[in-house]
Structure 1
Amino acid sequence: MIIDFPLLAGSFLVAVIVGLTGMGGGALMTPMMMLFFNVPPLAAISSDLVASAVMKPIGGYVHLRHGTVNLRLVAWLCAGSVPAAFCGVFLARAFDTEAAAQQAVKYALGVALLLAVAGLVAKAFLAVRERSGAEADIAQISLRPIPTLLVGMIGGATVGISSVGAGSLIIVALLALYPTLKANQLVGTDLVQAVPMVAAAAVGHLLYGDFQLHLTTSLILGSIPGVYLGARISSRAPGAVIRAMLAVVLLASALKLLEVSNQATAWILGGATATATACWYVLRRGRSRPEEQATAAPAPASRPG
């Protein structure tokens, strides 16, 4: 078995980012293989999904032990996501020619990356919301079965087609459906339901013959130490800056996959960066004013003359 050492190094760097931010696995790993190592889209997606199926149960077990998982919510998500993820593999092949299938997957991945950027924005919103204390106990949420089932179906199909969504897209939808859940509860619930979902998508790709053992082995060997290192660094690194950098990388990758011209890409990235900076400044000022008022010393009472 031949190990692809450049790919191993690339997967290590991506895994460090995943460990730092908790997001970006499929959203970065698959485009990296396509754009820098010329791996065909379906083979890149297949290898990434099989590698994720090996690693995700570890994180899911940790969240289960810490009580940050709603198993009823997991059950309804899986009811939609598992069959949809398996079928998504075959949706990617519902074209007349191999070239058309590869092109369709490439465009689908570009759209999924744009949605992943929205996931990072939602995660930033989560950080702001947690400071305000608007949270609920994970066992006390009011379950919404049908919308949750639909979220699982859409997220599973997206993962089966593009490998993107298990750690970002579904969280955006869960945030809209259950806005009072804490960030770690959203992440934990999504991660546990992603274990059977990613496994179903991986099985579909294995059956369809897109799996390449040497690619997956290189991904796993690079990802395991990278995730560990990223998680160790995350306690000291500025998370907001890292998430902003990740958003720029995802947006640039999406535009590249969608075949946007270099000039247009530069304008879009510049405009997005300027907008994000302005929004960050406004949010920071909005948070600092209540804190300043709360910590301001009261004026001394005047003594009667």
Structure 2
Amino acid sequence: MDFHFAIAGGAVGFLVGMTGVGGGSLMAPILVLLFSVNPSLAVGTDLWFAAITKSVGGMVHRRVGSPDWTIVKRLAWGSVPAATLTLIWLGTTHSGKLQADLLMKLLGGALIFSAAVMPFKGRLMAPLETLRERVETRHGDRLGAATVICGAMVGVLVALTSVGAGAIVAVVLMLLYHGRLNTHSLVGTDIVHAIPLALVAAIGHLIFGNVDWWLLGGLLVGSIPGIVLGSLMAGRISETWLRGALSVMLAFSGYKLLTH
């Protein structure tokens, strides 16, 4: 076993547990760029890595009561069916393997934009919250529908590239649920939602033959203790520090995707 994989898995697992972000956004570029893994194998292996690692992190966050289950269900109602339909399309039209360079670059740009906006979260959230309240007053509560739609978009991205379940959902949750979720709840909700989504996408890529089990085992040796430690630390670190760390990670992920 190459212990470089375990080190990479531990670092990414720690970041996922602490912030909810980093699984696909960091691991897929690491596998392709640093370890020269075939992109199709990187996507499939990364999805199993995310499903297993985030299941462990989700249990920790559930134990401390951080996930918002209503939001988790709304996201899953959109993401899981969308991922399933995308996998069916991928298997019937592209034999389970798709050149996703354009999607990776578009997502990289979105992550860098999100990273640039996130440090100004405090200034932006108040007017966004006011605008959302006015819309709800005139047109009823559209928050649930917006969450389902965002979940569906993420489901498509995850099924194709393994990227988006953490990074994009984290930004969506901060924009839509600013007054409802603190940082710890945001991370827990993000991680728990990613479990069924990553598992569905991982099963699809397993059927397509896009999984390297030896590589996955090496990553999990480091990621499982890493995500447990990160999940336990998530509630002990200030929101300001976590927001800064999240912004840096999104910028790094975006750069890696754009230069892929």
TM-score (norm 1): 0.67
Deviation, 1:53, is 1.2
Q: Output the CA distance in 2 between the equivalents of 1:229 and 1:26.
A: 19
Mapped contact 2:56–2:228 kept (Cα < 8 A)? no
The 3 A distance-change label for structure 1 pair 121 and 225 is: farther
2:111 is the counterpart of 1:116: yes
Deviations 1:152-205 (A, max 9, x none): 111111111111111120232233333322233333323222221111111111
Superposed counterparts of 1:1-305, under 5 Å? 3-92=1-90, 101-102=97-98, 104-121=99-116, 123-126=118-121, 144-182=143-181, 183-230=183-230, 239=242, 242-257=245-260
Q: Output the CA distance in 2 between the equivalents of 1:111 and 1:47.
A: 22
Mapped contact 1:34–1:40 kept (Cα < 8 A)? yes
Gaps of 5+ in 2: 130-140
Gaps of 5+ in 1: 135-141, 258-305
Aligned-pair identity in percent equals: 30
Amino acid at match of 1:169: I
Question: Which of 86-95 and 36-45 deviates more?
Answer: 86-95
Deviation, 1:68, is 3.3
Amino acid at match of 1:209: G
Q: Output the CA distance in 2 between the equivalents of 1:145 and 1:236.
A: 30
The 3 A distance-change label for structure 1 pair 185 and 84 is: same
SS in 2 for 1:69: coil
Mark the structure with the bigger radius of gyration. Answer: 1
Q: Output the CA distance in 1 between the equivalents of 2:40 and 2:174.
A: 30
Q: Output the CA distance in 1 between the equivalents of 2:243 and 2:69.
A: 30
Amino acid at match of 1:6: H
Name the structure, 1 or 2, with higher relative contact order (CA <8 Å, separation 6+). 2
The 3 A distance-change label for structure 1 pair 174 and 204 is: same
The 3 A distance-change label for structure 1 pair 21 and 206 is: same
Amino acid at match of 2:9: S
Q: Output the CA distance in 1 between the equivalents of 2:175 and 2:237.
A: 30
Deviation, 1:239, is 4.3
Q: Output the CA distance in 2 between the equivalents of 1:178 and 1:241.
A: 19
Q: Output the CA distance in 1 between the equivalents of 2:195 and 2:188.
A: 11
Mapped contact 1:87–1:160 kept (Cα < 8 A)? no
Amino acid at match of 2:85: C
Amino acid at match of 1:214: W
Amino acid at match of 1:146: A
Mapped contact 2:111–2:251 kept (Cα < 8 A)? no
Mapped contact 1:46–1:205 kept (Cα < 8 A)? yes
Mapped contact 2:79–2:153 kept (Cα < 8 A)? yes
Structure 2 partner of 1:275: none
Deviation, 1:149, is 1.8
Count of residues in correspondence between the two structures: 246
Q: Output the CA distance in 1 between the equivalents of 2:247 and 2:174.
A: 20
Mapped contact 1:56–1:195 kept (Cα < 8 A)? yes
Mapped contact 1:83–1:200 kept (Cα < 8 A)? no
Mapped contact 1:92–1:105 kept (Cα < 8 A)? no
CA RMSD of aligned residues (A): 3.4
The 3 A distance-change label for structure 1 pair 225 and 178 is: closer
The 3 A distance-change label for structure 1 pair 69 and 121 is: farther
Structure 2 partner of 1:293: none
